[in-house]
Amino acid sequence: MALETVADYVAFVRELLQDEKDTPYRYSNTSIVRALSIAIPEAKKLRPDLFIGVTTPTFTVSDATVVPIDEMYRLPLAYFCVGMMQLRDDEEVQDQRAAAFLSMATAKLTTVS
Amino acid sequence: MAAADITRLINNARDRLPGAIEQAMQRELFNVMDEFFRGSNVWNEDIEMEIPGQDPTNTVYPLIPSTPALVDKLLWVYQLNPNDLMARGSPMGASMSVPGEMVLALQPSSNVPIRVTVALTVDDPVLRNGYVTFPAWVLAKYRDCILDGLLGKMMSQPGKPYTNTQLSVFHMRKFKQGYVAARVEWTRNNTYRQQAWVFPQGFSRGSQKGRSRWGGPA
């Protein structure tokens, strides 16, 4: 599954979060999509060149809307979303894991890693 | 889709710029070509026009290139030779304080056909695919120099996977050497072993550092 649309990102993030069974989901689609909307300006702050000629999008639903970012930099957005989910004050969440995903997102945007 | 020569340039740059995206390289390529043309003067165009004899002093004559380009420098103005035996007629004094607006030093009393030679540099709009437009022969002849400029400018961007200050300085130095060499070639019309005239040194009085200061145009 390639990371192309908002729904692709949500599905991939759920994989990393082990939250694929809708009984119901631990993390709602709305939360993940909101994290994706936050990830875009954060990425733009670090790498403005990735958004040349692109209007910064805001996503509201998990659908087939294309996320406008170069294919080399799709994984950092997903990592950022996972990190944001893990930042919640849940009993099963580890702060270190959240910090690790957010750091990986930054590192993948700015370094060859 | 870009032309084969531009594609080769971008692919060569991409090999050395991990994580660089095409749009960023396109923008820097515009800056590189602008610096290259301003520094080398190699992109010239002859603009022919007729100066009416009754125009008042300080009349502004617009210089409009035939392709999307910015007039960078007014190189020279010559009258067109009526009998066509010589390439050029008499030179005419002219200035261009505002790029693209020529003013003659002396207005002719009768109609005079002239040829204005200008040095051009790149300008918007770029092509639909995002690439800057300039003559293809420039990229063919100065490919290495342009690649150095592109690498140097890309590597100087902060906070990118391909940021490399040391290599940026190295490539920018090579780029500058390249366009300075291009300017020298341009002054010699790209002709092998055509050199600027210098006064025969056997007739020179004193050293070159002394008072005689003999020497032709560089």
ipTM of the complex: 0.83
Which residues in chain A have Cβ-Cβ distances shorter than 8 Å to B160? 47, 49, 110
* Banded model confidence at residue B214, pLDDT cuts 50, 70, 90: very low
Taking only Cα atoms into account, the Rg of chain A, rounded to an integer number of angstroms, comes to 13
pLDDT digit string (tens) for chain A, length 113 residues: 689 999 999 999 999 999 999 889 999 999 999 999 999 999 999 999 999 889 999 999 999 999 999 999 999 999 999 999 999 877 766 788 899 999 999 999 999 88
Q: Where are the alpha helices (H) located in chain B, listed in sequence order?
A: 4-16, 22-40, 136-141, 143-155, 165-187
A46 CB neighbours in chain B (<8 A) are: 159
> Residues of A with CB below 8 A from B21's CB?
49-50, 70, 72
Global confidence as pTM: 0.84
Check pLDDT > 70 for residue B212.
no
Smallest Cβ–Cβ distance between B19 and the set A52, A53, A72 belongs to: A72
pLDDT value at residue B193 = 72
Which pLDDT score, from 0 to 100, does residue A22 have? 86
Residue B19 touches chain A, beta carbons under 8 Å: yes
Which residues in chain A are contacts of B18 at CB distance < 8 A? 112
Percentage, residues of chain B above pLDDT 70: 85
Token couple for A16 = 């990393």
Beta bridge partners of B76: B117
What pLDDT is recorded for position B198? 52
Nearest to B24 among A46, A52, A110 (CB): A52
SS3 A88: coil
Determine the Cα–Cα distance for residues A66 and B62; give it in Å rounded to an integer.
Answer: 47
pLDDT of residue B203: 53
Cα-Cα end-to-end distance for chain A: 22
